[in-house]
Amino acid sequence: GLEQLMTSMYSVVTLDLSENLSGPNTMARLVTGIQSGTLGKLEMLDLSNNRISDDGVEHLCEALALGCHALHSLSLLDTHIGLSEGSGRALGSLLSSSMSLEVLCLHWNYFTAKSAYPLLRGVHENGSNLGKLARLDL
């Protein structure tokens, strides 16, 4: 599975796991792999069409902020996020601290005013901090 694959992914720059995560355990393994530095060269991550959930995206964003400084594209289309304020806060925090992220795809999710506000604050901070975000797909 993913755990065995992670041991050989030190040079991976593009990882497309869309429609492939089988549940929270798989997401936890991915986050652990990011935190361990295994995916430190990652430039593009696609987790679209997976049931990541708000808790999952919070852990993912925290790991990406610490371990994937070259990430320039993150796709989280239809991942069942946005129901809680925590998901927007996590994504906003990632945006405000990331100087390399250029593309963030989030459409087909469940963002509300409460969860979108901290996300959009992060978009603003990214621009204020001279970040590279050029495409935001809500």
All residues at 6 or more sequence positions from 106 whose CB lies less than 8 Å from its CB, including other chains = 76, 77, 81, 82, 91, 119, 136, 137, 138
Give the model confidence (pLDDT) of 10-34 as tens digits. 889 999 999 987 667 788 889 998 9
pTM confidence score: 0.94
pLDDT band at 93 (very low <50, low <70, confident <90, very high): very high
Q: Give the phi and the psi of residue 4 in degrees, each rounded to 5.
A: -70, -40
pLDDT at 1: 63
pLDDT at 25: 79
